[in-house]
Structure 1
């Protein structure tokens, strides 16, 4: 008797392109269109003060512009964090300069960077909007980068000794140590601090997108300038529209970007003992149902596998730990010398500026500084309660 068996239907069933893939294609097309519009806005003729449309129908476009500046500032902050934090953690001599300098930079308010930064970039790009856009991005950057850099620096300094010994036994190079040990160990803290830093960048959005220097009015299309014009004109309805758009943008960024990243970063958790609540993301689960993204992931894995095969075979473990190779020491010395030279030049220029301040003004500045210090100390005391 011949018995013919067949596998369950689920084994032969393959995912087909469906609504998830259609939505993914539409989203990618919309993103591409938005990037083209953003490039057109940046490369357009210089318009220091544009007319802001207070219609609620203009808010989606303004929201996209503000979100783009925030994301560009975050990319810049992340690059700065990975470079500056690594340098400060690995170079003991440079650490004595870099860490105090970072502490000073995070104490300077956004308004302290604004005048010189805007005038310099506008003069550098006088015929298009690149200067103003870069100034806005960099000012948002100053509200994001410092917290992320301190987090990454402390994570690199607190890698457990047993993990360092494993890396030494396997003779990791500095790049392998960074890729397989230090970055994974610092990922979770960096993700949480990235969320806080991204939120901190929105606080000064009105100042970053609409500001005045003397008799010159600089304005960029965005939620911040929309809110600024609404406040100037006393338009309560427009203020409410802007608050609603800002709220929707923050919630969307949290659900579409940060929540999936937080769920993904849980695999780098190193705490021992105890039970951790399993986190999930509806958007991440939704993306995992996409056939299109699955095909792209498979192609990426194949390319990665082929590239890995071409690399030299990594040596196996040895019984004697071998010190990991670090980047050339002379590179750190040169960078530190350039940084110190830049600081000295800035201090020399600042001295020339301060010489022009009348003696009477110093008393006014001292009193204002005392009031500011008192407010900061009071806020710190209230925050510790």
Structure 2
């Protein structure tokens, strides 16, 4: 008869519902009620001929903030799904990559106003007589301001997963889903979360354009903080503008504490390192949620039984011979790919035919040359912003990434800077430029940087935080200091992240130029010579041929820069700076 020493006996702790679970359930019920409360405002009747004005009363700011926040998170949900799906497909399929990466380059180059010009009418026709059509257009515009950075970042993380981890997954015979869930997604978690934070901030940057739509000689203002800001700017109402700024800062800080900081604390366990950091990321919300039994109960009673039923339903498929199942899947994906390619090709041909018909006889060679010249001027501003932001924010980002305690304070400040719409600085900027006799041709570089330099900062921070702690300790053991440490460890480690940040910053700078090259406050207006201001003007007047030509020229500039510079740097980073 065998017996076990009492002090060695391990008893499983039986968990039960407690006050933390009650608090979590109350929070979930509050979110559900908020979604219903703010969502019903999207379904009201809408008449384009009688658009209601935005009320500037501060008492309505909480309602406007809720409507805007709901649009932001809906757009982010679609962005996250798109980024993971498309990034995974581009990383795993060479043929798909040849189409996806150029398509992302082109789509990233199309400004938010360009998407609005093409989609507002279509969404309004899809939901006639309802505000939901305009809401969908606004959500789609916010989606286009968020998704490209996330897609590029996730793709880059997928192609730089360490080779030994991929070989281990192959050795253990993991399926594609198991490999993605246990190896690739955890390895990409840090980059995906930091790029999600930056992309969410990018959505705030363009929220004013998305909610206060001025296209085709139509002015439509949806209830929200963005339209409230536009109303305050056009009226020169400093009090209303200040209230909008305060509301936005509160929402950004709340998102940081309730969403992003817990996610960073959770993702810290996925860092690829042999020794843990002495100061890991922490979050009071994450610690609180870890003590909740509700999620364990849902997993045991709902999620796992549902998965078991799904796998039981797939059991006959599992008994199919391996070769037959592989050929069947390959044939299915080929059919889907062919059908999707044909549909995309037809839509592209229709779009090209419509654009050609609109441009035929309506655009002279002189007009086109002038647009190209304006594009060249904006390109110089984009290049200047990228170089200056790299020189300034790379050392700052590394310092923040190496100091988790500093990151706790710097992270929300950086989010505020990244999320702050540049047009809210116009009360100060316009007055300063006028008083100092500074031309907006130079001042617009500062305004562009205020909206896009954060892509570089956030990606550098993510790269610095992703450096394994054992490599840092090895650097200290070998006595690496200052430039030798930067040259040997820091620069190679953060270079792939910097490429992602610089590429998306440059692409976002073209979009931001539409806001930055045309600054207005009250009755004072400043305009720079550039393609951004030109697109803003022709979009407002509804000149379709010039809209198509200017957006086409901007797309060509961005695609050429991506092809000649960023694609080569991506390939270089993938080839030389993998953590293997």
TM-score of the alignment, normalized to the shorter chain, above 0.5: yes
Structure 2 residue corresponding to 1:277, chosen from 261, 279, 286: 279
What is aligned with 2:59? 57
**What secondary structure sits across from 1:366 in the alignment?**
helix
Give 1:116 shift.
1.1
The answer to whether the 8 A contact 2:117-2:216 is kept is no
- CA 1:305 to 1:219, structure 2 compared with 1: closer, same or farther past 3 Å? closer
**CA deviations over 1:182-210 (Å, ceiling 9, x no partner):** 22222221111111111111101111111
Correspondence for 2:36: 36
Distance apart, 1:122 and its partner CA: 1.2
Q: Residue 288 of structure 1: CA displacement? A: 3.4
1:353 aligns with 2:358: yes
Structure 2 gap segments, 5+ residues each: 1-11, 319-325, 392-580
Q: What CA distance in whole angstroms lies between the structure 2 residues aligned with 1:174 and 1:15?
A: 36
Inter-CA distance 367–139: structure 2 relative to 1 (3 Å threshold)? same
Mapped to 2, the partners of 1:271 and 1:104 lie a distance apart of 37
Render the CA deviation track for 1:82-126: whole Å, top value 9, x for unaligned: 221122112212212211221222122212211111121112212
Asked whether the equivalents of residues 17 and 292 of structure 1 are also in contact (C-alpha less than 8 Å), the reply is: no
CA RMSD, 1 decimal: 3.0
The superposition leaves residues 267-315 of structure 1 with CA deviations (integer Å, 9 ceiling, x where unpaired) of 2211345735322111122233445556445535763685599586xx9
Deviation of 1:26 (Å): 3.5
Q: Could you report, residue by residue, the CA deviation over 1:11-59 in whole angstroms, capped at 9, with x for unpaired residues?
A: 99976643x4554343333222221123311221115433322222211
The match for 1:336 among 318, 323, 341 is 341
Question: What TM-score do the two structures reach when normalised by structure 1?
Answer: 0.85
Greater shift after overlay, 119-128 or 194-203? Answer: 119-128
Give the Cα separation in 2 of the matches to 1:107 and 1:287.
Answer: 40
Equivalent residue, structure 1, for 2:228: 226
1:3 is matched with none
CA distance in 1, matches of 2:389, 2:301: 50
1:313-355 per-residue CA deviation (whole Å, 9 max, x = no partner) reads xx9xxxxxxx998773443344334334433332232222222
Matched, 1:177 2:212: no
Instruction: Give the 5 Å matches for 1:66-77.
Output: 66-77=68-79
Structure 1 equivalent of residue 374 of structure 2? 368
Number of residue equivalences: 367
Report the equivalent of 1:383.
389
User: Greater shift after overlay, 132-141 or 343-352?
Assistant: 343-352
After superposition, the Cα gap between the structure-2 partners of 1:46 and 1:305, relative to the gap in structure 1 and judged at 3 Å, is closer
Q: Which residue of 1 aligns with 2:211?
A: 209
Taking a change above 3 Å as real, the CA distance of residues 294 and 90 of structure 1, as seen in their structure-2 partners, is closer
Aligned residue number for residue 195 of structure 2? 193
CA deviations 1:233-290 (Å, max 9, x no partner) are: 2221111110000000001001101111111112221134573532211112223344
Of Structure 1 and Structure 2, which has the larger fraction of its residues in helix?
Answer: 2
Q: For structure 1, which runs of at least 5 residues remain unmatched after alignment? A: 1-10, 316-322
1: CA distance, partners of 2:292 / 2:149: 35
- Judge conservation of contact 1:227–1:242 (CA < 8 Å) in 2: yes
**TM-score where L is the length of structure 2:** 0.58
Change (3 A) 1:216 1:103: same
| Contact 1:155-1:186 at 8 Å conserved across structures | yes
Q: Which residue of the other structure, out of 97, 101, 113, is the alignment partner of 2:115?
A: 113
Q: Which segment drifts farther, 303-312 or 127-136?
A: 303-312
Change beyond 3 A, Cα 1:332–1:358: closer
Mapped contact 1:46–1:127 kept (Cα < 8 A)? yes
Measure how far apart 1:79 and its partner are. 1.2
Whole-angstrom CA distance in 2 between matches of 1:289 and 1:176 = 27
Asked if the contact 1:206–1:224 (Cα under 8 Å) also holds between the matched residues in 2, the reply is yes
Corresponding residue of 1:236: 238
